[in-house]
Amino acid sequence: MSYIEEKYAEKILKILDNLSSVEQDIGKLLEDKTIKHSDKIATLCAQCNTDLNLILKKYYPEIKSLDSKLQIKSRMKFYFELIDKLTDFIRNIETYQKLDDKYYELIIEFIRNKEFLISGKYTEICSQELIVFYDKTTRAHLEEILEKKLMIHDREFFTIGPLEEEIKKIATLAGADEVVIFKDKEMINRLNFIENPRSLIYYSVYSEDEELLKEIGTEIKIYLVSKGYEAMIFIAELSDIPTGMEMLTGSIITNANLNPD
**pLDDT score at 12:** 94
82 Cβ partners below 8 Å, 6+ apart?
A: 23, 26, 48, 107, 110, 111
DSSP letter at 259 equals S
**pLDDT score at 72:** 92
**pLDDT score at 23:** 94
**pLDDT score at 107:** 94
Beta bridge partners of 182: 200
**pLDDT score at 10:** 93
**pLDDT score at 28:** 94
Instruction: Judge contact between 179 and 134, C-beta under 8 A.
Output: no
Instruction: Judge contact between 182 and 202, C-beta under 8 A.
Output: yes
In the chain the first and final C-alpha atoms are separated, in Å, by 49
Distance of CA 72 to the CA centre of its chain: 14
Amino acid letter for position 142:
L
**pLDDT score at 247:** 64
Q: Which residues of the chain have pLDDT under 50?
A: 152-160, 237-245, 260-261
Rg of the chain, C-alpha, whole Å: 20
pLDDT, tens digit, for every residue of 70-111? Answer: 899 999 989 988 998 898 888 888 887 778 888 899 999 999
Task: Give whole-number Cα distances, 9 to 51, 64, 237, 241, in Å.
Answer: 14, 10, 16, 20
**pLDDT score at 180:** 79
**pLDDT score at 137:** 64
**pLDDT score at 157:** 36
189 Cβ partners below 8 Å, 6+ apart?
A: 197
**pLDDT score at 253:** 75
Domain ranges of the chain: 3-134, 136-254
**pLDDT score at 238:** 41
Distance from C-alpha of 38 to C-alpha of 128, rounded to nearest angstrom: 36
